[in-house]
Amino acid sequence: MARMHTYISRLRKGNHKTPPPNSRERLIEDMREVKRQLEGNHAFFALESDEDLLDAAIYQREALHARYRYLLRLARENGVEADGPPVEAEQGERWIS
């Protein structure tokens, strides 16, 4: 965790030429986890009828989308590409060929 914190600090300072060891796998897994959470959020949203819980699902979805955009940006800045099943971007954006 400390290594990732150091890496994020370097990103904010603009010193992000090379990602730290194993960050590629971590970044891709984080993106896949956010996608799984978005799928769960979508299922919850489709089944819920309580207005307060729908509001909570909407806020959660927006937070997940913001995290996913952040992870996409990190991946692009560091030239990360995935092997195997692609990680799809939101809103038609695609960073993995």
Segments making up each domain of the chain, as ranges: 23-90
Cβ within 8 Å of residue 13, ≥6 positions away: none
Mind listing the pLDDT tens digit for each residue in 49-97?
A: 999 999 999 999 999 999 999 999 988 888 887 654 444 555 554 444 3
Model confidence pLDDT, tens digit, residues 12-54: 665 555 555 568 888 889 999 999 999 999 999 899 999 999 9
Global pTM value: 0.62
Instruction: Determine the Cα–Cα distance for residues 57 and 51; give it in Å rounded to an integer.
Output: 10
CA dist 92 to 24, 29, 74, 82, Å?
22, 20, 18, 18
